[in-house]
Structures are given as structure tokens and as C-alpha cells.
Amino acid sequence: MLSNHCRPSCLNSRVVFSGLARLGLISLLGWVFTGLLTGQTPITDVNVSPVPERRSALLSELFDKPPSVADGLLESNASRVDQAAGAVVPSPKSVPEALQPTPAPKPNPTPKVAEPVKAQPVGVQELVDVDAPPSGELATESESKIQMAINGGVRTYRSTNVTRVSGPKQPATAFELSAGANAVFPEVKLGSSVISFTPTVTVMAQRAYFGQYKLSPTDWAKQDARILDYEFRLASFAAEFSAKDDWTVTLTAEYDELRNFYEGSKLYHAFVPSVGISKIIPLRKDLALMLDTRLRYALSKTVLKYKVPGVFDDDGDNLQTSFNVSLMRPMGKEGKLLLMPSVGFGRTGYLKNEATGRADYLLLAGISASYQMQAWLSLQAFANFSHKFTNEKGETQLGAAASFDNWDIGIALSGNHAF
């Protein structure tokens, strides 16, 4: 047992030792937290205003997906964390001079942030689910509005067999003007939201002029090719059904009309219900495969003063089936250049008038290169090859127009504006 005169001395020693231990621990923790804050990487804050990452507008429309904004969020939040790290920190409370060690700065409080948003790769781009799209408009507000858009374009090309006959082949140039508008209605969820559908209304008109210029001495002149000039009009209502596995089924009711705009007369018109199935399959980050098949039934009426073999030979109701495969490959740092080779096959079976029992087959192959000059403007170069053949009924009925080979090579400029 300790004597009474030793107790004050022992107590003083314990107080000194306890004070030194606490100050040492505070200094050690201050040094650790200071080091962590100095080398800490800024953490993404999902509540800051997102800055949209620059991506190809063409890819975003094609895949029907929002562009990734993960990099924009990181950039916006970095300045906020750096400013906090450089703030002035008050000195720690004073202690008796005999017991005071080297002062250590009090660590900054760690900013309260949310967990970082993690982007998941889906093939051609990375997608992030956020409450606000790059435009700053709430996603729920954007999805509840009717999206309107207008578009237009010019296209010119040279056809190696403009009359579409087996021979002799007649080359000619073509110049086309087109304009259209469409309205996309809000998406409607079905059942447990596994399937949704989006109604769309589209109107479009196109005029084609042949022989306006010549690239070869053998090309048809304007006065000879004028017989081929036409105006095409289209109005359609479509309902696009989408599933979570990215399969899309489109039901469409369409009205088509072909006119002679010089005389103001109608050459052909048809009511065409159709169903299409498509899917985009990402193969890797910068490559995707698009599959598309379609079934169309044309209830048609042809009004011609004279017959042009192989050109306006769609006399009678017909059932059209087609299948197309395309590869999509964005090029360049921002993916503004899109290469798209494609192949396709189509069959048209005629069910009315003199064409009953006739079946035409069309093989297609082509490649296009589209460059997105602006978000609203794109330039395209293309080359398409087509080969047609028919059954015995078609060979008897069409003669030289029963089969043909043709190349279309040209360029197109198109623009669009959404509001």
C-alpha cells in the first residue's frame, strides 16, 4: 500500500502521462486525416447540375439511348472539392506551455457526398440513369410531352440502269428533294413495365428529277428522262412496342401516293398496313449489328396513261416481305463518322389483276458513310447495288423488265430540328 505523502506525486505523474498520450493521439489523427484529404480523389455528386458529354448525336438517335453524363458530373464536382480542401482552418485550443507539443492543424471535415454513379457498358456507349437529362429538364417532364420534329434533305446520285431492265442499260442522274415532320407521343407502359409502346405520326413528301445534269455522254438528257420524274407522298401512324430485351415490334398504318406533279394527276396510291420486328445487338463498344424484318400488305390502285416497263409495274395488291442486316461502326474520337454496310432480301407477291401469281425477288447490298457535321446536320455518301429476278409468271408478263442489275452511287445532305 502507498503512503499518503506519495499520492499527490503519483496523481500528478498520471495526469502528465495521460495528457501527453491524448495530445500524441490527436496529433497522429490530425496527420493521418490531413494526408488523406490532400491526396483524396473527388467523389461524384449526383445532385450537381450535369454537364453533357459530347457524343455523336447520330449514335444517340440510332440507339434510342441518352448519352453518358458520368464525365460531366465528375468535372462539375471536382472544383467544389478543391475549394473545400483549401479553406482556412482555425488553430487547436491552447494547452499548458509545459505540455504543448508541436501544433497540428485540425483536419477538414469530409464533404457529405452521395455514392458515385457507376456507368455500365452496353456496347456502343455507356449509359447512366440520372434524374435530369443533359438539357436540364426533368426526365418525367420530358417523357410526358409530345416531341415534334421537322426534317428535310437533298440527295443526288447516278443510276447505271435507270429504266430497270435487263438490257440495254440506260444510265442517268437523279436529284431528289424531301421534307417531312413527325410527332412522337409519350411512352405508354404496359403491365409490369416489361413492355411499352410509343405512338408516332409521320408525314413526308419527296420529288425526284432525272437527267438534270450529265456525268457521262451516255447519260440520259433532261428531255429524255423527264418521263421518270415523280412526286411521292406518305402519311403514317405507328405504334412501336419495345421490350426490356431490346426487341422492337412496330405496327404501322400507312398511306402512299405517287403523282405526276407536272399534270397534277395521281399515278398510284395504296393503303399499307405493316408489322416490323427489329433488334440492335452490341458486338463490342464501337460495333453493333442491326436486324430488321418487315411484312407489308399493299391495297393498291395504279392509274397510268401509258406503261413504262420495269418502272411503275406495281399493278395490283401485293404482299411484301423483307429482311435486312446492317453493321454500324462509329469512327473518330467523337464517333461523328458512322459506317454502315448492309445486305437485304425482299419478296413481293402479287394478288390482284393481271399480276396475280407473279412473285418478284430483290437482292440488295450497299454501304454508307454518314458524317454528323452539326447536331442537326449530316452528310452521307452511299453506294447501293440491286439485283431483281422473278418467277415464270413474271418473266412472261414483264419481258425485259423481269430482271435487272443496277448501281446507285451518290451523296445526300439532311437536316432535322426538334422542338
CB atoms within 10 A of CB 372: 22
49 has a pLDDT exceeding 90 = no
User: Tell me, what's the pLDDT at 419?
Assistant: 87
Distance of alpha carbon 333 from alpha carbon 78, whole angstroms:
24
Strands (E), 191-309: 195-210, 230-243, 247-260, 265-284, 287-302
- pLDDT tens per residue, range 307-331: 655 445 556 799 999 999 999 999 9
Question: Which is more confident, 315 or 98?
Answer: 315
**3-class state of residue 265 by DSSP:** strand
The model scores a pTM over 0.75: no
- The confidence band for 15, taking pLDDT boundaries of 50, 70 and 90, is very low
In the chain, the percentage of residues whose pLDDT exceeds 90 is: 54
Residue 33 DSSP symbol? H
- What value does the mean pLDDT of the chain take? 76
Supply the CATH classification number for the domain 146-418: 2.40.160.40
- The confidence band for 190, taking pLDDT boundaries of 50, 70 and 90, is confident
388 has a pLDDT exceeding 90 = yes
Question: Which is more confident, 139 or 375?
Answer: 375
- In the chain, CATH 2.40.160.40 sits at 146-418
User: Tell me, what's the pLDDT at 301?
Assistant: 86
- pLDDT tens per residue, range 141-184: 556 789 999 999 999 999 999 999 999 999 999 999 999 999 99
Average pLDDT estimate for 59-87: 38
Average pLDDT estimate for 52-63: 42
Distance of alpha carbon 238 from alpha carbon 274, whole angstroms:
9
User: Tell me, what's the pLDDT at 245?
Assistant: 72
Rg of the chain over Cα atoms, rounded to whole angstroms, equals 35
User: Tell me, what's the pLDDT at 31?
Assistant: 55
Report how far apart, in Å, the C-alpha atoms of 386 and of each of 51, 341, 343, 389 are: 45, 14, 10, 10
Which uninterrupted H or E stretch holds 378? strand 377-390
Question: Which is more confident, 99 or 187?
Answer: 187
- pLDDT tens per residue, range 354-379: 888 999 999 999 999 999 999 999 99
> With b meaning 16 or more CB within 10 Å and e meaning fewer, what string describes 294-308?
bebbbebbbeeeeee
